[in-house]
């Protein structure tokens, strides 16, 4: 059920959780989102808004500032995230940070730590993390990332299978696409569909039908599995309409 | 809109009790609200209210600029209200002026009392209001647009903030003045309401009213705000209808 800020929530004795507040024994929504009663609390899952970082999330960022020992990254969160030179796979000398990453460069990093002041610690050490070269980055609403990935990665696998593009999904709603220009455009169009239609049911089928229609002739008919699509790692945790974000890394090739 | 002679005082109220545009005293101008009108912003809204056209964009919470305004325990709320040079008949000199600074300040303060700013320390929530066409009541139209834009941006807050002005024309209290009524009327009283608590978080006044008229105006304004509140909610529901699972439990 969609609720708006200021609307009273039937709390039925549940405690006010995230996205709600209580005044005089009544519970109200504080954000626009979906009502989700989860005893012993009731909460509202936001449908919009900036990316709220969570430890373990893999996100895409762009460098906004270069300092002597660290870079500042825009990951679409309320604050910029400092990436320290010791958190990279490289052996960086103090003062030589700019040799590795410059303002405007795109990177894949993982959120490591968060503190009460909203400071976000990120690292670039880990599989699938690093600097991005080539390709295109598109954005979807962070609340829609679960839908982009799909249950057990079904949605993103469908997109990759039909286009042959290389796609990396950041939990912050930034998605890197690489491949031939036509494939990139088809992936971007499919992502726009998901962004606009959100969590309505039957979306995977509609996206698949779009991809089939828009694809090159070689792509039509029975879906041809692209190279390496079969021996992919275990798919990520399921994502359903309650907006729970998956924990594992989303990377498909 | 129709060009009323600037020097001649128009008849603001007909013998039948109808106003210049045919409205009754307690009637609002037509309002249309579109949530999410801009793609780039975190949240946005476009409001057409009578002959007013107002766009609002919200960015944030994001890094504070300029830095020294940063607060360690909460987000700062910054508002910039601006009227386009072409928004009025006679070209408005572009840029900051005393009026727009005042309106920016009172709107930012109205939102400070409803936004849960403690949730985002050291950040800024930036509200931009651009008046594209003005016909009296633009601070209220701007507030309504900004409020819908904040909800669209997923900012946590106590409630949406409907706003309306009540005025006095030809000796009578009237809801939602249009330009001629504002220019030739006797008083103008803009207000913004928190429907959840019934509190007013913006109240300004120009002109003269008796205490009884003021009390009546507040009643009328609150009723007007509640009417606008429903339109604001409808606009947000329409915007997000496509993203909600059709039927079933969440």
A51 within domain boundaries: no
Q: Decide if A198 and B236 are in contact by the 8 Å CB cutoff.
A: no
**Chain A contact set for B63 (CB, 8 A):** 79-80
B5 within domain boundaries: no
**By the CB < 8 Å criterion, does A10 face chain B?**
no
B248 within domain boundaries: no
Weakest mean pLDDT among A79-93, A109-123, A202-216:
A202-216
**By the CB < 8 Å criterion, does B63 face chain A?**
yes
User: B112-148: per-residue pLDDT in tens?
Assistant: 999 999 999 999 999 999 999 999 999 999 999 999 9
**A166 and A226 share one domain:** yes
pLDDT of residue A201: 66
Domain boundary among A74, A107, A131: A131
**By the CB < 8 Å criterion, does A62 face chain B?**
no
Q: Decide if B154 and A46 are in contact by the 8 Å CB cutoff.
A: yes
Distance, in angstroms, between A80 CA and closest chain B CA? 7
CATH of the domain at B93: 3.30.230.70
**A188 and A236 share one domain:** yes
**A186 and A146 share one domain:** yes
CA distance B180 to B3: 10
A212 within domain boundaries: yes
B11 within domain boundaries: no
**By the CB < 8 Å criterion, does A201 face chain B?**
yes
**By the CB < 8 Å criterion, does B124 face chain A?**
no
Q: How confident is the model at residue A178 (pLDDT cuts 50, 70, 90)?
A: very high
CATH of the domain at A7: 2.40.50.100
Q: Decide if A79 and B156 are in contact by the 8 Å CB cutoff.
A: no
**By the CB < 8 Å criterion, does B116 face chain A?**
yes
Q: Decide if A50 and B154 are in contact by the 8 Å CB cutoff.
A: yes
**A151 and A230 share one domain:** yes
**A118 and A36 share one domain:** no
Edge to edge, what strands does the sheet with A174-178 contain?
A136-139, A174-178, A166-169, A251-252
pLDDT of residue B249: 39
Q: How confident is the model at residue A233 (pLDDT cuts 50, 70, 90)?
A: very low
Residue from the list A30, A34, A118 with its beta carbon closest to the beta carbon of B250:
A34
B104 within domain boundaries: yes
**A146 and A201 share one domain:** yes
**Secondary structure, 3-state, A6-18:** CCEECCCCCEECC
Closest CA to B19 of B136, B134, B143: B136
Long-range (24+ apart) CB contacts under 8 A made by A228-236 are A228/A253, A229/A157, A229/A160, A229/A161, A229/A253, A232/A157, A235/A152, A235/A153, A235/A157, A236/A149, A236/A152, A236/A153
User: B66-97: per-residue pLDDT in tens?
Assistant: 999 999 999 999 999 999 999 999 999 999 99
Domain boundary among A106, A131, A156: A131
Q: Decide if A32 and B154 are in contact by the 8 Å CB cutoff.
A: yes
Backbone φ and ψ for B33, nearest 5 degrees, come out as: -125, 130
CATH of the domain at A114: 2.40.50.140
A242 within domain boundaries: yes
User: B163-173: per-residue pLDDT in tens?
Assistant: 999 999 999 99
Interface of A with B in 116-145 (CB under 8 A): 116-118, 143-144
User: A184-228: per-residue pLDDT in tens?
Assistant: 999 999 999 888 876 566 777 888 888 888 876 444 444 443 333
**By the CB < 8 Å criterion, does A36 face chain B?**
yes
**A77 and A109 share one domain:** yes
Can you give the residue range of the structural domain that contains A92?
58-131
pLDDT of residue A196: 82
B122 within domain boundaries: yes
pLDDT at A253 over 50: no
pLDDT of residue A240: 39
Residue from the list B42, B157, B237 with its beta carbon closest to the beta carbon of A5:
B157
**A34 and A86 share one domain:** no
A154 within domain boundaries: yes
**Chain B contact set for A201 (CB, 8 A):** 245-246
pLDDT at A124 over 90: yes
B131 within domain boundaries: yes
A111 within domain boundaries: yes
**By the CB < 8 Å criterion, does B22 face chain A?**
no
pLDDT of residue B242: 74
Residue from the list A21, A47, A118 with its beta carbon closest to the beta carbon of B240:
A47
The ipTM (two decimal places) reads: 0.91
Can you give the residue range of the structural domain that contains B160?
31-240
Beta bridge partners of A166: A178
Q: What domain count does chain A have? A: 3
Q: Decide if B242 and A1 are in contact by the 8 Å CB cutoff.
A: no
**A151 and A243 share one domain:** yes
Residue from the list A19, A143, A241 with its beta carbon closest to the beta carbon of B156:
A19
Domain boundary among A73, A108, A131: A131
In sequence order, what E strands does B17-141 have? 31-35, 43-49, 52-63, 76-83, 123-133
Residue from the list A30, A49, A242 with its beta carbon closest to the beta carbon of B116:
A30
**Chain A contact set for B123 (CB, 8 A):** 78-79, 118
Average pLDDT, chain A: 85
Nearest CA in chain A to B60: A78
A52 within domain boundaries: no
Q: Decide if B158 and A4 are in contact by the 8 Å CB cutoff.
A: no
* Alpha-carbon separation of residue B65 from A133, B52, B78, B123, B125 (angstroms): 30, 30, 10, 9, 10
A53 within domain boundaries: no
**A113 and A203 share one domain:** no
B249 within domain boundaries: no
* Alpha-carbon separation of residue A243 from A54, A159, A238, B21 (angstroms): 14, 20, 10, 48
CATH of the domain at A236: 3.30.1370.10
Q: What is the mean pLDDT of residues B18-37?
A: 97
Q: How confident is the model at residue B241 (pLDDT cuts 50, 70, 90)?
A: confident
pLDDT of residue A212: 85
pLDDT higher at A176 or A208: A176
SS3 A252: strand
Q: Decide if A21 and B116 are in contact by the 8 Å CB cutoff.
A: yes
Q: What domain count does chain B have? A: 1
Residue from the list B43, B61, B243 with its beta carbon closest to the beta carbon of A78:
B61
Closest CA to A69 of A90, A91, A88, A95: A95
**A64 and A125 share one domain:** yes
B69 within domain boundaries: yes
**By the CB < 8 Å criterion, does B6 face chain A?**
no
Q: Decide if A6 and B158 are in contact by the 8 Å CB cutoff.
A: yes
**A178 and A215 share one domain:** yes
């Amino acid at each position: 059920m969609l609720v708006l800020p200021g609307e009273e929530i039937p709390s039925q004795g549940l405690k006010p959780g995230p996205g709600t507040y209580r005044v005089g024994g009544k519970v109200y929504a504080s954000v626009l989102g979906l009502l989700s009663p989860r005893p012993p609390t009731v909460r509202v899952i936001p449908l919009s808004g900036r990316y709220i970082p969570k430890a373990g999330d893999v996100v895409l960022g762009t460098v906004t500032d270069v300092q002597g020992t660290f870079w500042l990254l825009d990951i679409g969160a309320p604050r910029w995230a400092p990436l320290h030179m010791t958190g990279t796979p490289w052996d960086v000398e103090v003062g030589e940070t700019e040799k590795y990453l410059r303002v405007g460069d795109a990177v894949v990093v993982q959120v490591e730590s968060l503190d009460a002041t909203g400071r976000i610690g990120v690292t670039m050490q880990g599989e699938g993390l690093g600097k991005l070269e080539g390709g295109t980055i598109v954005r979807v609403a962070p609340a829609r990332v679960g839908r982009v990935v799909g249950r057990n990665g079904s949605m993103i696998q469908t997109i990759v299978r039909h286009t042959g593009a290389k796609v990396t999904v950041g939990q912050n709603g930034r998605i890197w696409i690489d491949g031939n220009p036509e494939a990139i455009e088809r992936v971007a169009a499919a992502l726009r569909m998901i962004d606009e239609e959100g969590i309505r049911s039957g979306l995977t089928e509609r996206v698949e039908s779009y991809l089939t229609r828009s694809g090159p002739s070689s792509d039509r008919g029975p879906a041809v599995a692209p190279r390496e699509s079969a021996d992919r790692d275990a798919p990520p945790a399921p994502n359903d309409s309650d907006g729970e974000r998956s924990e594992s890394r989303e990377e498909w090739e | 809109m129709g060009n009323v002679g600037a020097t001649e005082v128009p008849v603001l109220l007909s013998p039948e009790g109808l106003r210049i545009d045919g409205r009754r005293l307690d009637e609002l101008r037509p309002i249309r609200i579109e949530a999410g009108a801009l793609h780039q912003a975190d949240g946005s809204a476009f409001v057409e209210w009578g002959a007013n056209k107002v766009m609002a964009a919200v960015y944030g919470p994001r890094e504070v600029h300029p830095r020294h305004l940063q607060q360690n325990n909460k987000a700062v709320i910054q508002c910039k209200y601006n009227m386009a040079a072409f928004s009025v008949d006679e070209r408005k000199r572009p840029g900051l002026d005393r009026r727009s600074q005042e309106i920016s300040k009172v709107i930012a303060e109205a939102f400070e009392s409803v936004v849960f700013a403690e949730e985002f320390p050291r950040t800024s929530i930036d509200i931009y209001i651009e008046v594209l066409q003005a016909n009296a009541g633009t601070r209220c139209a701007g507030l309504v647009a900004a409020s819908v834009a904040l909800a669209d941006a997923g900012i946590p807050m106590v409630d949406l903030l409907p706003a309306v002005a009540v005025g006095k024309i030809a000796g009578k209290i009237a809801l939602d003045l249009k330009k001629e009524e504002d220019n030739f009327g006797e008083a103008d009283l803009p207000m913004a309401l928190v429907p959840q608590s019934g509190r007013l978080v913006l109240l300004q006044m120009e002109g003269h009213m008796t205490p009884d008229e003021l009390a009546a105006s507040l009643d009328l304004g609150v009723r007007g705000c509640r009417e606008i509140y429903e339109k604001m909610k409808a606009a947000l529901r329409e915007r997000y209808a496509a993203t909600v699972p059709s039927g079933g439990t969440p």
